[in-house]
Every structure is written in C-alpha cells, then in structure tokens.
Chains A and B, each alone.
Chain A
Amino acid sequence: MKFLRSNPVSRRFIIRAAGASLALPFLPSLLPRRARAAVAPASVVVFRQANGVQTEFANFGEPERFWPRNYGPLGTSLADVDADRAVSELRDFADHLLLIRRLDIPNEYGSGCGHTHGLNQLLTASRPSGGKSMSLATGESIDNRIARELHPGIEPITFFCGRREGYIDDGLSYRGPMLLRTGERDPQKVYERMTGGSSSQNHIDLSRASINDVVRDELTTLQNSSTLSFEDRERLALHLEAVRELEVTLGCMADTMTLQALDGAATLLDTDAEVERVARLQMDVTALALACGYVRAATIQMGGGGSSTQFVVNGATLPRYHGISHRNLTDGTPSANAESALRHHQIDRIHGRLFAHLLGRLQTYGILDSTVAMWCADMAVGPAHWFTSTPFIIAGSGNGYFKQGQVIDAAGQAHNRLLNTILNAVGLRNTDGTLIENFGDGGRPPGELAAAKA
C-alpha cells in the first residue's frame, strides 16, 4: 500500500536532487509563484520551555519580569515601556503576537510531580496517569491529531533539545493514551529523513518495496498465528503501520549555510553550552519543513521536565536550570533567592530570543501569518510549580484565525480551549463539519478561546 503524500495546496518545489544531494542556495524567488500570491495552509509549531518562567510571585517577593504591563494592543510597548520584560525579545514581531494571560493548566490531578503534570497535559488536555516521573498523558496531543488527519503516514516533527537526563525527558507528543512519542535531537537526521525518502536509484526503491512486502506478510502471519495479548496485538499493529513506502519526496532544500551548520550538529547534542545553537538548527529545519508542506505540525521541547540545562549568559555558565527555578539551587523544596530569580529571567530571555529566531525563519519563508507558532511552558511560577496563568504566546494568526498584536485576559479558563482553537485554525473540524470544541479528556468545559479569535 503506497501512501501519496498528497496535499491539496501543494507547496513543494519541483526541483529534485539527482543522485547526491545538491546544495542549492535558498532564494525566496525559488518559491513557486502561487506560494507568494496564494494562502499557504495553516500549520502549528510549538516551542516549549521547562521549569516555568519568572513571573510575579509575591511569596518570594519577586516582581513581574515576564509579561508586559498592560492588556490590550501591544503597539510599540515591547520596544519601549516593556523593554524590561522577557517577552520584549519578541519586539520585532509585535504585530504578529497574541499574548494570552491567565490561561490555566488543570491543577488537581495529583500526579505527584509538577514537571510531568504540566508537560503531559500541555498539548493533550488529558489528565496525566499517576506515577510521578513515569507519569504519562492519557490522550493524544494536538500535533498527532493534526498529522494523522492532514498527512497520514507522515509523523509530526518532534524535536528534543538538550541532554536527556533519564528522569523526565520527553512528554509533549503523544500518539494516543500513554503512547509517548520521543523526540529527535539531531536536526541533520530529521533533515535527511525529510529529503531522502525515496531514491533516484531504482534498485533501492525496488528492494525496499520487496522487503516491505515480506515484512508485512511476516507481521500478518504473527498476528494470526497465536492468541495474542492486547499489548502484543498493539505492538504488532504499530509496527505494521510503520512499514510503508514513502512516495516521491520533496525537493525542498536548505541553503548552503544551513547545510554546513547541520553537518556535525550531532556532536553538539550533549553540550549544554550549545543548546541555543542546536535549538536554532532544529527551528531552521522545522521552518523549512513547514514551508515545504512536509508536515503541518511540529514541536520543539527545550529540555526535559525539570531540565537541568546549564545555560550560558554573558559568557558565564549558570547553575542548573532546575535549581535556579527552585531558587535555592536544589532540586528539593524551594526557598527565595533574588539572584536566582534574575537568572531565571535571563533564561526566559534566552527562550524569547530563540522563539524570535523561529519567527524570523517563518517570516523569511513567507509563512509567518499562516502558521500558529506557540511559545509555552510546563508551568507558570517555577518555584511553586503553579499552573494557573501558564504562559501561552501565539505568533502568527493561522491565516487570520487568531487576534494579533494584543495582550488578552483569559480570565482563568482552561487551556483545552486554546488547543481547540488551534486545531480549528489549522483547518480541522468534527466529522459533521462543526468546529472542534472538545479536544482532550473533557475534564474542563468545552469550546474555543473566544477572546483569542480574530
């Protein structure tokens, strides 16, 4: 069974590499003419920060350093009045931003670990299973939903940036209940997978097709040969689903500079001092994938839950991020520390600059407005693991679906409403054509986030 990667509004380049890959300089003029005139299909990219942000926390005497001062139109405030706030790093894109305050991730499920609790719910709106650091979400995530409806057979892009710590690593993307999708760390690997699906060499295509036939037969025989437990059945089904031919691959190429940067990215993956460089490369590949229509959903998870990445600020290596977010540099019970609060703010700015880099790439490819880019975090207040007023920053409108240039008050609604709105912005609907209003496990009132809609 061959899957055609069909997409009604195709944005693929006609150019294909013959044999060895050609590094074509990427020029906007190489975009198909209609791409510049017509509307690109909406896509989603989620950039998730660990350990919360440094926002107002009276218990520790910490002032607001993340959000702008006012609600309403942003105007130029990020460049002047609010230049001391972390979101000011997005000042070049103010007209495209929607800052959503007072949106909550449900708090009461008691998974016993603040870091899995928020992370698991973030894109699933499903209660986490119990089990502290081993906790998993009990539903699929929005990137999975978008991918399986809009381009079945092609998984969403799932990036993980930073060291894996063997504690709580991946937790954003779910194929289904308890079926965590782990991220790729190497942007070159993802790029090669995007561009190398089929080959110009006939024998490779032929041998792959032959082997796939044999493998599918073997799997089917195994499925039928004995009484299988539910888990075994599920195991084989997932495997069988994975065995498929990839039809013609896109000829979408990165520019020479990016290709050179990608080469050797693999050596940087475990070096904390290189996380920003790696994140930017992951974003470059993601933006390219969206621009070329390879996928319609992508996520970039910056560190695991409770990430202990040591960022570099002004040439100095900071203590572990998790310790900073707890203020007293331990992984245990937090206590106030003004210096750590300031350091957390610096880390928020780093994430803001990274998100700005992503927006810049989307803008270069001419797809910023058609994308729903989202900067979010597992929790709001790091030290106390609070989930009320968790940061959600939308950039791009999904072709006019979202408000732009504003700071809005979600007034304590739950974030499932934002997820519903995102799915609708991308063009998903219920089977009867109505807007999606009930993504997730239904633990919170359904509906969209009306205040966010244009």
Chain B
Amino acid sequence: MRFLVVLVAVGCTNQLDKAPPPVDDPTLDDGPVATARFTRLTHEQWQNSVIDIFRLAPNDAVIQGWAARFAIDPNSRFDTQVDVLRITSGLWLDYQAAAEDIAIYVMSDQARREAWFPQLPADAPGQRDTFVRTIGARLFRRPLTADEMTVYGSMFDRGLELTDWTIPEFAGARAVLQAMLQSPHFLYRTVRVALGAPLTGYERAARLSYSLWHTTPDATLIDAAEAGRLATPEGIKEQVARLVADPRARAVMRSFHHQLWHLGRVERTVKTDGLYPELSPTFGASVAEEIARFAEHIVMDAGLGVADLMTSRVAFVNGDTAPLYGLPPPSGITQVTLPADRAGLITRAGFSAYYAGGTTTNPIQRGVFINLDVICSELPEPPTSFPALPAPASGMTVREMVDANTGVGTCGEGCHSDFINPAGFALEHYDAIGRYRDLDGTAPVNAAASIKLADGRSLAFNDGVELSTLLADELQTHACYVQQLMSYLYGRSVVANDAKRVRRLAEASLAGASVVELVMMMLVDDAFLSYYEVAP
C-alpha cells in the first residue's frame, strides 16, 4: 500500500501542476478510518504469545521452529500490516500441525507443564471448568462466554476419546489446548464493539501489547483492563510508559527501523570480484547494525526525536565500520562521535555502500531512498523498461554521467533533476563503501545541489551534512517518519482521514517531541482506541 503524503506532492514536471494546499486546509480533518475487526497474529506475535502463555524460555527452539515453518505472508511495507495477514489453506494446515504438537509439548514434560498448568480441584466438573476458564482467558485474551465454556468444556470431557492419553484431566487439557490454539479467537485479535465505539478494556490491552511488545497482554495489562483503567487517557498513558520502558519495546522499535530503512538489504551489501579485499565477510552486517544501533540509541536511550535522527553524530562502531569513518578500529563496539563530515541517518556509511555499484556510487538509488523513505516525496513510476544508455565519456564523474542521462534536457528532467538526483548528489562525498572522499577519480567531488520538496519549495545545500540539517527542520521529514511509525503501530495504511492527526504529530515532532512521546500520542489517539469504518 502506498503512503499518503500529507503535504501533497506536485507532479514531477518542469512546472508545478497545481498549487499545494494551504497549511490550514479546513477540508483536512480527523475522520473515521477503516480498521480491521480481525487482525491475525503475525508469525512473530504467534511465537511470542505461545511462549508467554506457556511460560517457556524466550528462545524456545520448538516454538521458534514452528513459527519459522509457517507459510510466509506476502511482502508488505511493514510486517504488521493487516492486509497481508490472512489464513490461507497452507497456513491453516500449519496452525493445525503446530497446535497438535504444542499441546503435547507443553504438557508432556512435568517441569514444563507445571510452569503454567492451573491448580485443579479434585472433582471432574471442577477440573474441566477451572482449566477451560483459566486457560481460555489466557489464550483468548478475555474471559470466555458461557457458550464457549460449554463447547470447550465438552471437549475436555471427551479427552480420552480425542487423544491417546489415559489420565482424564491431562487428556482433556490436551484436547482443549489443541482446539483453542486453532480458534479464531486465538489467531486473530478481534474487535467486537459497534461502529464508532471505543474498544473494550480487553481489546485495548491486546492492541497495546501487540503494538508495543508483539505479544499477548501480560497480567498487569489485564488487571488494568479489568479495573477499568484502560478506559481513560491517563490509564492508557501509564501502561504505554511501562511498556515502552521494557526491552520488548526496544526490539519492536528496532524492527520498525529495520523495515523502515530496508536494513535487510544493507545487511546484504556485497562487493565482489575482489574490489575491496580489505572488507571482511561481516561488512554488510556491520554497516547495517551501525545504523540500527544509532537509531536505537537516539530513540530509546537518549529519548530524542526525528531531528536528532537526521543530525546527531553519535555512532556505535566496530572493526568494520570505524575505518569507514576514519576512526581507529576498536575491539568490540564502542560509542563515538563521528567527524564533522558526517551527520545523522542519511550520511551513514551503510546506505552509501549498499546504494552503489562495484566502485561507483549510485546517486539515483541514494536519491530515491531519501525521497521515498526519509522524506516521503511521492515519485511517479519510473519507466518499466528503459533504453540502453550510452557508454560514459571517459573522465566523466558519476555525477556528470547521471546528469547527462537523466538531468535537465533528458526524459528524466523533472523527477530526476528536481527530486531524485539532488538528494543523491548530496551523498557524493561518500564512496561506494561509505568512506568520505574529496575526489571522484581525479575530479573534485561536487555535492552541492538543490532539492525540491513536495510543496514546491527548493532547498539548496553544499553537501549531505547541510542537507541533513535542512531536512531536520522541515515538516515534511517529520511527517514522513510519523506516518510510517503510525502505519507500523496501527498495522494499517495511513489514509486521507489521518491527515490532521499526522500533521499534529509532525508539528509536535518538529517542535522537539521525542519519538517516544510520538508513540504515546499515537496510542492515546481515538483512532487506536476505538473502532471505525470509512464512511460510505
């Protein structure tokens, strides 16, 4: 799904197609947005939920093995997007096999069983009701209805028939477990309230937990739900603060940044043909991790915001990355301040190294990355097939070549000359493995350019450091991060009716709100805590 850009992108042509909307456009309003009633657990959420419900070790190999085996979901911008979370025929068979296996796994070993198995009374009906009620509440993330008590109770009673175990209460438990693990009430987070209504406490607890921890609500969240504390903004904030402070939220934000900036691709940066014999096999992993660790520090340790992501020179370097920044290689990983020829995110070595050829930089790909993923300038589709380009005249710099092929006077004029290429040229001081350079071949690097923003204004800069500072001060940059974070946490695309919401958050971010504060604002928003559909 495409992202909405709050500030409407002008057409990629020589002239403005239309004037951008005024800042206080009254037609932009918080409106109802479609949310899903049934959000299937992602495979990671499934894994974490099973581990937590049955109090297994966080890295339990059996549960991880099952999740790794599940039919894979189609690619989407973020793996939390409900659109791709479907139960297909293949995945259903996977869930079935896993449920049967896990029901045995968590029960067959005494120590494993005792970690979660509820204390049962002596009488058979009591055993049935206690087990079903207790475990059902954990698996379905809410108390069972009377009908459900009956249905699953009867399954418990039939344990000896439905399993090959001979101890009635264990056989019954196993029968119930394997059923509940296949129930839509476990596999989906469901919303049952009416259109426009606030979610119940249990539904809010699930949303908070799966957004910030990717797992089932813990006892504290459930208690808060039952005590009615999730019905107020103050109660929500209290829980959000608690959840954010936990290492699990750190892992979730790390995953967000990993997907946001395509760090999976950066990890696979490979320079072949012996071009850089000094690079170790861990080069790709190291340059990606440097970026990930930087973002984690800014957002989770230092409690800073988007502007700092763009401009801060804090870095965590190792033996692979330190030399790229002209620093002595440490043993292990060490925190440093990068030299003044660097700034924040876009100047980090990993992006320059990945968006590059063998020994040449690739300003077009770097420029596309900045436009699409860092400032969310909508670009129209490139041509599906392209004419073969002429061989470069000898002695041309990469910039000169890119200009000759896509700049003013070519078919790329507009999109390339105004938006893509300038952003890429800004990074020309960083070579094909991300080191700083003053020369491209024998010619001095020219990283000065002027980039057009979505609202038609142009920003002139001398290099990537200056561009970073300028972009840090642009609402568009903050709106881009905000809407992508929102999409990740909400598990859906950001749409037109989110525009005012996004602007509010972007303005707060521009004014200095930290990312954690943005998270708080998103999760106390009505859009997160109530159920809507788009008005017909």
B-contacting residues of A (Cβ < 8 Å)?
57, 59-60, 107, 109-114, 117, 130-134, 136, 155, 164-170, 175, 180-182, 184, 186, 189, 193, 201, 203-204, 206-208, 210-211, 214-215, 217-219, 222, 225-229, 231-232, 235-236, 238-239, 241-243, 308, 310, 317, 319-320, 323, 328-336, 379, 383-387
**Chain A residues with CB below 8 A from B96, complex form:** 208, 211
The answer to whether B183 touches A112, judged by C-beta atoms less than 8 angstroms apart, is: no
**Chain A residues with CB below 8 A from B238, complex form:** none
**Chain B residues with CB below 8 A from A165, complex form:** 264-265, 268
The answer to whether A211 touches B178, judged by C-beta atoms less than 8 angstroms apart, is: yes
Q: List 9 A-B contacts (CB under 8 A).
A: A155-B88, A165-B268, A170-B75, A184-B71, A222-B38, A236-B38, A242-B91, A310-B272, A333-B389
**Chain A residues with CB below 8 A from B90, complex form:** 155, 184, 193
Tell me whether A384 and B385 are in contact in the complex, defined as CB-CB below 8 angstroms, given that A320-B272, A329-B273 are known contacts. yes
Tell me whether A207 and B92 are in contact in the complex, defined as CB-CB below 8 angstroms, given that A166-B264, A229-B533 are known contacts. no
Tell me whether A210 and B158 are in contact in the complex, defined as CB-CB below 8 angstroms, given that A385-B384, A387-B385 are known contacts. yes
Is the C-beta of B362 less than 8 angstroms from some C-beta in chain A? yes
Docked CA distance A211–B155 (Å): 9
**Chain B residues with CB below 8 A from A336, complex form:** 388, 391
The answer to whether A215 touches B178, judged by C-beta atoms less than 8 angstroms apart, is: no
Docked CA distance A385–B392 (Å): 20
The answer to whether A110 touches B381, judged by C-beta atoms less than 8 angstroms apart, is: yes
Chain B proximity of A180: nearest CB distance (Å): 4
The answer to whether A169 touches B38, judged by C-beta atoms less than 8 angstroms apart, is: no
Is the C-beta of B34 less than 8 angstroms from some C-beta in chain A? yes
Question: Given contacts A155-B90, A226-B192, could you give 6 more A-B pairs where the C-beta distance is less than 8 Å?
Answer: A132-B381, A136-B74, A214-B179, A242-B91, A329-B272, A333-B389
B240-275 interface bits toward A, Cβ cutoff 8 Å, 1 = contact, 0 = none: 000000000000000000000010110010101100
The answer to whether A107 touches B385, judged by C-beta atoms less than 8 angstroms apart, is: yes
**Chain A residues with CB below 8 A from B273, complex form:** 319, 329
Docked CA distance A379–B77 (Å): 25
Tell me whether A238 and B88 are in contact in the complex, defined as CB-CB below 8 angstroms, given that A222-B190, A384-B385 are known contacts. yes
Docked CA distance A33–B10 (Å): 70
One of B127-135, B161-169, B313-321, B325-333 contacting the partner: B161-169
Residue of A nearest to B174 (CB): A207
Docked CA distance A331–B360 (Å): 12
The answer to whether B72 touches A110, judged by C-beta atoms less than 8 angstroms apart, is: no
Chain A proximity of B128: nearest CB distance (Å): 16
Is the C-beta of B469 less than 8 angstroms from some C-beta in chain A? no
Residue of A nearest to B165 (CB): A203
Does more than half of chain B's interface fall in helix, strand or loop, or is it mixed?
loop
The answer to whether A333 touches B405, judged by C-beta atoms less than 8 angstroms apart, is: yes
Contact partner of A228 among B37, B72, B365, B388, CB < 8 A?
A: B37
Among A227, A235, A387: residue with most chain B CB under 10 A: A235
The answer to whether B34 touches A231, judged by C-beta atoms less than 8 angstroms apart, is: yes
Is the C-beta of B500 less than 8 angstroms from some C-beta in chain A? no
Contact partner of A204 among B87, B100, B190, CB < 8 A?
A: B100
**Chain A residues with CB below 8 A from B405, complex form:** 333
Among A136, A175, A227, A232: residue with most chain B CB under 10 A: A232
**Chain A residues with CB below 8 A from B74, complex form:** 136, 169-170, 180, 182
**Chain A residues with CB below 8 A from B358, complex form:** 328-330
**Chain B residues with CB below 8 A from A229, complex form:** 34, 36-37, 533
The answer to whether A134 touches B37, judged by C-beta atoms less than 8 angstroms apart, is: no
**Chain A residues with CB below 8 A from B264, complex form:** 165-166
The answer to whether B265 touches A214, judged by C-beta atoms less than 8 angstroms apart, is: no
**Chain A residues with CB below 8 A from B151, complex form:** 214, 217
Is the C-beta of B526 less than 8 angstroms from some C-beta in chain A? no
Which range contains the number of B residues in contact with the other chain? Answer: 35 or more
Tell me whether A134 and B75 are in contact in the complex, defined as CB-CB below 8 angstroms, given that A229-B36, A385-B385 are known contacts. yes
The answer to whether B357 touches A169, judged by C-beta atoms less than 8 angstroms apart, is: no
Name B168-213 residues within 8 Å CB distance of A. 175, 178-179, 182-185, 190, 192, 194-195
Is the C-beta of B83 less than 8 angstroms from some C-beta in chain A? yes
Q: Nearest 10 pairs between A and B by C-beta?
A: A112-B381, A330-B357, A59-B388, A242-B92, A385-B385, A207-B162, A319-B272, A239-B87, A242-B89, A180-B74
The answer to whether B75 touches A384, judged by C-beta atoms less than 8 angstroms apart, is: no
Contact partner of A215 among B77, B182, B362, CB < 8 A?
A: B182
**Chain B residues with CB below 8 A from A384, complex form:** 385-388
**Chain B residues with CB below 8 A from A168, complex form:** 75
**Chain A residues with CB below 8 A from B163, complex form:** 203, 207
Docked CA distance A181–B389 (Å): 36
Docked CA distance A201–B165 (Å): 13
Contact partner of A383 among B71, B88, B175, B388, CB < 8 A?
A: B388
Tell me whether A332 and B91 are in contact in the complex, defined as CB-CB below 8 angstroms, given that A130-B381, A208-B96, A229-B34 are known contacts. no
Is the C-beta of B457 less than 8 angstroms from some C-beta in chain A? no
The answer to whether B364 touches A241, judged by C-beta atoms less than 8 angstroms apart, is: no
Docked CA distance A226–B194 (Å): 7
Docked CA distance A391–B155 (Å): 56
Residue of B nearest to A116 (CB): B384
The answer to whether A211 touches B182, judged by C-beta atoms less than 8 angstroms apart, is: yes
Tell me whether A218 and B162 are in contact in the complex, defined as CB-CB below 8 angstroms, given that A109-B384, A231-B36, A333-B389 are known contacts. no
The answer to whether B161 touches A203, judged by C-beta atoms less than 8 angstroms apart, is: yes
The answer to whether A207 touches B175, judged by C-beta atoms less than 8 angstroms apart, is: yes
Chain A proximity of B505: nearest CB distance (Å): 24
Docked CA distance A222–B69 (Å): 28
The answer to whether A330 touches B178, judged by C-beta atoms less than 8 angstroms apart, is: no
Chain A proximity of B83: nearest CB distance (Å): 7
**Chain A residues with CB below 8 A from B111, complex form:** none
Chain A proximity of B65: nearest CB distance (Å): 10
Chain A proximity of B70: nearest CB distance (Å): 10
Residue of A nearest to B69 (CB): A189
Docked CA distance A7–B426 (Å): 64
Docked CA distance A385–B77 (Å): 24
The answer to whether B357 touches A328, judged by C-beta atoms less than 8 angstroms apart, is: yes
Is the C-beta of B459 less than 8 angstroms from some C-beta in chain A? no
Chain A proximity of B261: nearest CB distance (Å): 12
The answer to whether A241 touches B89, judged by C-beta atoms less than 8 angstroms apart, is: yes
**Chain B residues with CB below 8 A from A379, complex form:** 385
Docked CA distance A232–B188 (Å): 11
The answer to whether B386 touches A167, judged by C-beta atoms less than 8 angstroms apart, is: no
The answer to whether B76 touches A112, judged by C-beta atoms less than 8 angstroms apart, is: no
Contact partner of B161 among A132, A167, A206, A308, CB < 8 A?
A: A206
Residue of B nearest to A201 (CB): B164
Docked CA distance A317–B281 (Å): 14
Is the C-beta of B86 less than 8 angstroms from some C-beta in chain A? yes
Docked CA distance A225–B190 (Å): 12
Docked CA distance A226–B40 (Å): 18
Contact partner of B192 among A113, A207, A225, A332, CB < 8 A?
A: A225
Docked CA distance A334–B357 (Å): 10
Chain B proximity of A354: nearest CB distance (Å): 22
**Chain A residues with CB below 8 A from B71, complex form:** 182, 184
The answer to whether B73 touches A334, judged by C-beta atoms less than 8 angstroms apart, is: no
The answer to whether B75 touches A112, judged by C-beta atoms less than 8 angstroms apart, is: no
The answer to whether A114 touches B86, judged by C-beta atoms less than 8 angstroms apart, is: no
Residue of A nearest to B362 (CB): A332
**Chain B residues with CB below 8 A from A207, complex form:** 100, 162-163, 175, 178-179
